[in-house]
A and B are shown apart, each in its own frame.
Chain A
Amino acid sequence: MTKSDASPFADPITFAVIKNAFDTIVDEMAYNVMRTARSHIVREVLDYSTTLCDRHGRIVAQAKTVALHLGAVPDAIEAVQAAFGDDFAPGDVVIMNDPYEGGMHLPDIFMFKPVFFADRLQGFTVVVAHHCDMGGRVPGSNASDSTEIFQEGFRVPPLKLYERGEPNKTLFRLFEKNVRVPDLVIGDLLSQYATCRMGERQYLRLFERYGAATVESYIEGLLDYAETMTRREIEAWPDGTYSFTDHIDGDGFSDKPIPIKATITVKGGHLEVDFEGSAPQVKGAINSTLSFVKSASYLSVRCVMDSDAPNNAGVFRCIDVKAPLGSMLNPRLPAAVAARALTGYRIVDTMLGALAQIVPTKVMAAGEGGNTVVCLGGYDKATGEPFILVDMINGAWGGRVDQDGIEGVTNPAQNMSNLPVETLEARYPVRIEEFGYRQDSCGAGKWRGGLGLTRTYRLLAPEAMLQLRSDRTAHAPYGLFGGEPGALTRNILNPDRNAEAVPGKLTRNIEAGDSLCHHQAGGGGYGDPLERDPALVATDALDEKISRDFARDRHGVVLSDTCMPDAAATAALRADLRAQRT
């Protein structure tokens, strides 16, 4: 081997080869889950992640799946190690979902398969998947209005689902009896299992080819590499302390705004993120475990980094995250946590708001604020069989330094897909009556935010439990550097009858023929709306993405009948509007 002066690795070429191999393993694991899982939320919405850990439980590689799982695995594996010590054998598989013992919320089942090479533990293959039901008081186990973890469903501490290759029949039977759709849940568990095994085989091939000592040393190198890449970047940021506060509308029981405050301290190549000043733990189910807070913080930092450092534990070494115990970002038992995804999105919004002060050209204004979850569960009229529709509505991005926010796009905190209308209608007694952009919902700016989406559901079954989790009904997605906030979320029950405005978070029985219309918040704008190129304003008006009123009032652009900008009238109006500001 050649010792290099310039490269930190003993052998830069083997290093690159092994890094590539790790990336390939987790990607192929991700593909395997997508193809073998049973439920829509995993197969189509792709709410899962695949990870490879070393024998210490440190993340070596994670596939480009759900970014919000980025920091979740370390705490989970710590709980697994605490529960089992070194009591692992080849063929063992451990699962868990308890938020108070390493998990995030009950539907997310973590699965770890210890990998042995030459009789020694050499790592873990990990698949985290969001299951479509975990029992509890409501279908989907995702209610925002639970008040205790005990209402939320089946809690699983770290337990062996397989022991030396033998299935734990007791645990499988318990799943069968505690969830509403056991075939889907067990099917997805089997998909996780097959994927862990597939990852194991490929991981072992590396050990066979290079030997344990070499692979281990390159894992160290890989973590160091990620740390170096991250540290270099942070070193270029101005030292200092930067705070930002954003809000969640309420916890479903009270409309009292729930502040989330992030204070980022940049010091040399290190970041400290402190959530002191955020709300105490709340009654509703939007409390978030600290592991999830870490995930959201890491991913926010990743989003503003230039380099493509690998997703591994080396990145986390440069970032410390803390939140006071007893706050909603580090709650005590038995706080409910099922709907904590929303809190994760808002942490990302808050982090990007603080990062905007550090790296203003790298961030975007606030997006829609997290996907909206519409859950309809009940029994089919014709067959009497239970159904649970968990539908997610994505999304809009805020404006950026040199381009508009995207519309019809996943929140950057995940990389989720959507459920086709036709698939939904063929499988569930529900009809979608509208799905499209919401005019004028963007925040105006030199670069406007993306438009929110509108989606309308009509129930065809006799009755169903509707659970709605949405936000930004009172606290609009913020704009940056003069950009305006996006439109607020609105939810309307039976828009064609009494058009009842309902809150962002709702659990209610509805009946056949009832409909729910969700108008999602739009993204915030970036930069002064009066500096937006009138030609872009005209194009938006021509495309009916904005109205002519919006063009005039928000951007100061006067359009002709054929949607051509009137230069003189626009200049005059903009001068007026500027004058009114002062």
Chain B
Amino acid sequence: MGLAEPGERTVRIAADIGGTFTDLVLIKGAGEVLTAKVSSTGSAPEAAVLDGIRGIMAEAGVDGSQVVEVLHGTTIGSNTLLERTGAPTGLITTRGFRDILEIGRVRTPEMFDLAWTKPEPLVPRRARLEVTERIAADGAVLTPLAEAEVLEAGRRLQQQGITSVAVCFINSYRNAAHERRVGELLAEHFPAFEVTLSAALQPEAKEYERTSTAVVNAYVLPVMRGYLARLAAGLAGLGITAPLLVVSSSGGLVRSAVAQEQPVLFISSGPAAGVTGAARLGTAGRIDDLIVFDMGGTTAKAALIEGGRISRTNEYEFRAGISTPSRFIKAGGFLMRAPTIDIAEVGAGAGSIARVDAGGLIHVGPRSAGAEPGPACYGKGGDSATVTDANVVLGYLNPKELAGGTLAIDAGLSEQAVTSHVATPLGVSAAEAALGVREIANLNMARAIRAVTVERGVDPRDFTLVAFGGSGPVHACDLAAMLGIRHVLLPNLAGVFTAAGMLAGDIERQLVEPLPAPLDEALGPRLQAALDRLAAEARAALAEEGFSADQMAIERQVDLRFENQDTELGIVVEDAIEAGFAAPLRERFLEAYERVYEYRARDRVEVVAVRVVGRGHRAGKLDFTSYRTAATGGTNVASERQVMFARESGYVSTPVFDRSALPEVATGPLIVESLDTTAVIPPGAVVRADEAGNLRIELEG
């Protein structure tokens, strides 16, 4: 598989599907990098991927037999949920509990909103069927499974045209025997059903969370399976027999076969790769503490990398686009217990629309002009004032064209929109209004960053902000200044950074086993046994994928919490659980807890679960140091234009560089334009292009 040494002839390809473009990155041999963008192909996204791969292979002059791996970040899972195009799905539950899925956690996303519409569940009530069985909280069987009822439920679901079935029983996380038996019965009598068993997927407490996770899995499964099968067939048609690896929501690379069984682990596949790439970029540049900021047209996302470790979460809610407030309020989305990179997302992006309300307050977003009609300056009939229009008025963005000339800009339309929607109602100039729109947008986006830092007790000032996405570099320095961050890193390949990130990833297997027990010395042997079991399982899985022992890294973790709390913290432990382990482990938990929450409790500490992450280090992965895509070191100022950085100083004449012509070191104010983005360097900031073509910016004191 992809473990072949990076010989001159070997080729690795990564493909990332976005709403508008599918991005491709190809690495040939030891470091030659090619990139490409092709238009996405909506409902048959594999067409763009295959098309793009064909094109980029031709450009590189390679054939399918040279390809040793194809890496893929897919939005198929999130799109299936967003557009509700999944399989007709059924649910089998414990008698008395068929409404758990629909009741959820009962909160509403907003207060005072009597017009709220609760989203329809993925499984309607008629397809949620109950069977007699009951497991107690300690795992004991209280009522045996009524097998005849299972068969009857199967028949009824079949009559309804159901093709995918989730099974979730109360307390199955303590004893999954009944769920397993249902799996056997369905496989035997209804072989056409795809079946998802909740505890096999995620053996953790909380019935709504587990049910919802199983249902999302069941709902997406046939779609994901069909898609990956078509993609594999298409790759074979291109002569590529190398394994297809898919990015999981937690940022690891996983064999396509796993994604076909457990698609719920791949819902956030796309965004995760960008964060993994940023982590790898940080490693290459010896920066361990990073805030990752990805700004798109309608939303902005943030994630945290601390001490080289990506911040992950075990639960998240997918809501049409936005996920930050849902950290606080679970409502109106699809909840999943699945290891996921902790990405906070807010509804503010380049296309967010600004308006002034009747009381004279500026609002920006969450309404967005999207790609159609887009900002006013696109001249496609949009007349709303967007964040992009504000950036055009302020001189940050090229007043004539963007994206290397492929997108014409009409600066006059931006000014008109900002004037009529913001400046006139407020009685200020267009430039002041534009500054206001930009600042409000920045504040909204800063909330995503605060969500992954301040709300975790992490001080963002100690971090480096890595920004990508088409608009990230336009706002990065302002956001950094707002949060007291001094260092900003704008990666080379910013426009295809997510795809590049995949090439930097590792193969990953995450395994978890519940182990609810008080943390004390007596638990040592059980902890050791459980961790060893999971570690062996992880090693076996990695060995099967062709990794030798020295290419594997196994991380063991114990999830701990205070009794009576529900927030657990994972503490990494050594391979051997020695006698006398409990007190130091408790102390490490208390330290970790205090760091986040600022106090120490006297309460007893309990173990929730043990967790093992196995990583297989891929030979030949992109390390962000060995390639160079654009020459740097020129000294030519391409042009100058009037740019406003602050109200007090007004418009100032500002040099505009093409990325390739940027001097080794330069001091702002200046603008750096490249094919896929524009970097705004404020007055006093010092920018330096490093060996790999990344821009490193130091902000003033």
- Contacts A39-B564, A187-B601, A303-B112 given; indicate if A409 touches B106 (C-beta within 8 A): yes
> What chain A residues lie within 8 Å of B115 (beta carbons)?
400, 403
A305 contacts B by Cβ under 8 Å: yes
Could you jot down 30 A-B contacts, CB within 8 Å? Answer: A2-B429, A4-B427, A4-B428, A8-B360, A12-B362, A17-B443, A32-B455, A32-B597, A35-B567, A39-B564, A67-B111, A187-B601, A228-B358, A307-B359, A309-B359, A364-B114, A395-B106, A408-B99, A408-B104, A409-B118, A410-B106, A412-B114, A416-B106, A417-B107, A420-B206, A422-B173, A422-B206, A423-B205, A436-B103, A543-B126
Q: Is A34 an interface position by the 8 A CB rule?
A: yes
Q: A43-B565, A299-B112, A543-B124 are in contact. Are A12 and B361 (CB under 8 A)?
A: yes
A232 interface neighbour in B358, B428, B436, Cβ under 8 Å = B358
Residues of B near A292 (CB, < 8 A) are: none
A31 contacts B435, C-beta separation under 8 Å: no
For residue B432, which residues in chain A have a CB less than 8 angstroms away from its CB?
Answer: 2, 13
Pick from B426, B427, B432 the residue with the most CB of A within 10 Å.
Answer: B426
Binding site for B on A (CB under 8 A): 2, 4-9, 12-13, 15-17, 19-21, 24, 27-28, 30-32, 34-36, 38-40, 43-44, 46, 64, 67, 183-184, 187, 190-191, 194, 197-198, 225-226, 228-229, 232, 299, 302-305, 307, 309, 362-364, 394-395, 397, 400, 403, 406-410, 412, 415-418, 420-423, 425-427, 431, 433-437, 453, 456, 542-545
Interface segment, one of B324-332, B376-384, B613-621 = B324-332
**Please, which residues of chain B bring their CB within 8 A of the CB of A229?**
357-359
Given A408-B106, A415-B108: A427 in contact with B564 (beta carbons within 8 A): yes
**In the complex, A347 Cα to B570 Cα: how many Å?**
45
The minimal Cβ–Cβ distance linking A562 to chain B, given in whole angstroms, is: 11
Q: Is the CB of A64 within 8 A of B360?
A: no
Partner of A16, one of B170, B362, B564: B362
The listed residue (A43, A184, A543) touching B125 by CB distance below 8 A is A543
Which 8 residue pairs are nearest across A and B when measured between Cβ atoms?
Answer: A408-B103, A4-B427, A434-B96, A6-B427, A13-B436, A436-B99, A543-B125, A425-B137
A436 touches B98 (CB 8 A): yes
By a CB distance below 8 angstroms, the chain A residues around B447 are 24
Interface string of B327-351 (1 = CB under 8 A from A): 1111000000000000000000000
> What DSSP secondary structure best describes chain B's contact surface?
loop
B358 and A13 within 8 A (CB) = no
Contact with A along B432-449 (1 / 0, CB 8 A): 100110011001100100
- CB of B108 within 8 A of CB of A410, answer yes
Per-position contact with A for B355-382: 1 when CB-CB < 8 Å, else 0? 0111111100000000000000000000
Alpha-carbon distance between A44 and B599 when the two chains are bound, in angstroms: 20
B18, CB-defined interface residue at 8 Å: no
Shortest beta-carbon distance from B481 to chain A in Å: 12
**B 457-485 contacts with A by CB, 8 A:** none
Least CB distance, B397 to chain A, in whole angstroms: 20
* Residues of B381-435 whose CB lies within 8 A of A: 424-429, 432, 435
Complexed CA–CA distance, A397 and B329 (Å): 19
Please judge, given known A-B contacts A24-B447, A225-B360, whether A435 and B112 are in contact too, CB under 8 Å: no
Contact of A422 among B124, B137, B357, B454 (CB under 8 A): B137
Instruction: Return the chain A residue nearest B603 by Cβ.
Output: A183
Is A416 within 8 A of B114, CB to CB? no
Is B110 on the interface with A (CB-CB < 8 A)? Answer: yes
A194-B599, A406-B118, A543-B126 given as contacts; is B97 within 8 A of A435 (CB)? yes
Is the beta-carbon distance between A225 and B125 smaller than 8 angstroms?
Answer: no
Least Cβ–Cβ distance between B698 and chain A, in angstroms: 22
* Given A32-B455, A187-B601: A453 and B103 interface contact (C-beta under 8 Å): yes
Binary interface encoding of chain B residues 104-146 relative to chain A, with 1 for a CB under 8 A from any of its CBs, else 0: 1111101111111110000011100000000011000000000
- How far, in angstroms, from A168 to B598 measured CA to CA in the complex? 19
With A410-B108, A543-B126: A38-B361 Cβ-Cβ less than 8 Å: no
Task: With a 10 A CB-CB cut-off, give which of A32, A232, A305, A415 has the most chain B CB atoms.
Answer: A415
State whether B328 touches A27 (Cβ < 8 A): yes
Residues of A within 8 Å of B356, CB to CB, are 7
| CB of A262 to closest CB in B, whole Å | 17
Q: How far is the CB of B201 from chain A (nearest CB, A)?
A: 16
Contact string against A for B residues 501-537, beta-carbon threshold 8 Å, 1 for contact and 0 otherwise: 0000000000000001000000000000000000000
Which residues of A are found within 8 Å of B116, using beta-carbon distances? 406
Decide yes or no: A410 and B100 within 8 Å by CB, A4-B426, A15-B361 being known contacts: no
Known: A24-B450, A28-B454, A184-B564. 16 other contacts (CB 8 A): A4-B427, A13-B439, A24-B447, A30-B328, A43-B565, A44-B566, A46-B107, A194-B598, A226-B359, A309-B359, A409-B108, A417-B107, A421-B97, A422-B205, A436-B103, A545-B125
Contact (Cβ within 8 A) B111 A64: yes
Q: What A residues does B173 contact at CB under 8 A?
A: 422
Q: What residue of chain B has the Cβ atom nearest to residue A183's Cβ? A: B603
Beta-carbon contact of B112 and A305 below 8 Å? yes
Cβ–Cβ contact B111 & A6, under 8 A: no
A356 to B549, CA, bound (A): 71
Q: Which residue of B lies closest to A305 (CB)?
A: B112
Whether B112 and A67, one on each chain, are in contact in the complex, defined by CB atoms closer than 8 angstroms, is: yes
Give the nearest-CB partner of B98 in chain A: A436
Which of A27, A36, A46, A309 has a CB less than 8 Å from the CB of B599?
Answer: A36
A22 CB to closest chain B CB (Å) equals 12
Identify the interface centre among B107, B206, B208, B443: most chain A CB within 10 Å of its CB: B107
Complex: A425 Cα to B175 Cα, angstroms: 14
How many Å from the CB of A393 to the closest CB on chain B?
9
The answer to whether the Cβ of B602 comes within 8 Å of any Cβ in the partner chain is yes
A7-B360, A31-B455 known; A417 and B106 CB under 8 Å? yes
- Which residues of the partner chain A approach B426 to less than 8 Å between Cβ atoms? 4, 6-7, 12
* Closest chain A residue to B206, Cβ basis: A420
Nearest A residue to B160, CB-CB: A542
Q: Is the CB of A307 within 8 A of B97?
A: no
B102 close to A (CB within 8 Å): yes
A40 to B106, CA, bound (A): 16
| A450: nearest chain-B partner, CB-CB | B118
Taking A28-B454, A184-B564, A408-B99 as contacts, is the C-beta distance between A5 and B107 under 8 angstroms? no
Q: Does B562 interact with chain A (Cβ within 8 Å)?
A: yes
* B455 and A38 within 8 A (CB): no
CA distance A543 to B356 in the complex (A): 45
Whether A544 lies near B125 (C-beta < 8 A) is: yes
Cβ-based interface call for B171 (8 A): yes
Taking CB atoms, residues of chain A closer than 8 Å to B69 are none
Counting CB contacts under 8 A, is B317 at the interface?
no
B23 at interface, CB cutoff 8 A: no
List the B side residues contacting A46 at CB < 8 Å. Answer: 107
Q: Which residue of B lies closest to A224 (CB)?
A: B359
Q: How far does the alpha carbon of A227 sit from the alpha carbon of B47 in the complex, in Å?
A: 56
Tell me whether A403 and B106 are in contact (CB under 8 A). no
The interface centre, meaning the residue of A20, A39, A406 with most chain B CB atoms within 10 A of its CB, is A20
Verify if B673 is at the interface (C-beta below 8 Å from A).
no
With both chains docked as a complex, state the minimum distance between the C-beta of A189 and any C-beta of chain B, in angstroms: 11
Per the bound structure, the CA–CA distance linking A232 and B173 in Å amounts to 54
CB of B207 within 8 Å of the partner chain: yes
Q: Cα distance A412–B114 when bound, in Å?
A: 7
* Inter-chain contacts of A197 with B (CB < 8 A): 598
Contact B114 A303 (CB under 8 A): yes
A304 surroundings in chain B (CB, below 8 A): 114
From B96, B428, B599, give the contact of A436 (CB < 8 A): B96
Q: How close is A208's CB to chain B, nearest CB, in angstroms? A: 12
Cross-chain contact of B597 among A36, A39, A407 (Cβ < 8 A): A36
B428 touching A410, Cβ below 8 Å: no
Q: Is the CB of B424 within 8 A of A20?
A: no
Selected from A21, A364, A415, the residue in CB contact (under 8 A) with B329 is A415
Chain B residues with Cβ below 8 Å from A425 are 136-137, 170-171
Which residues from A are CB-within-8-Å of B171? 422, 425
Of A31, A362, A453, which contacts B328 at CB under 8 A?
A: A31
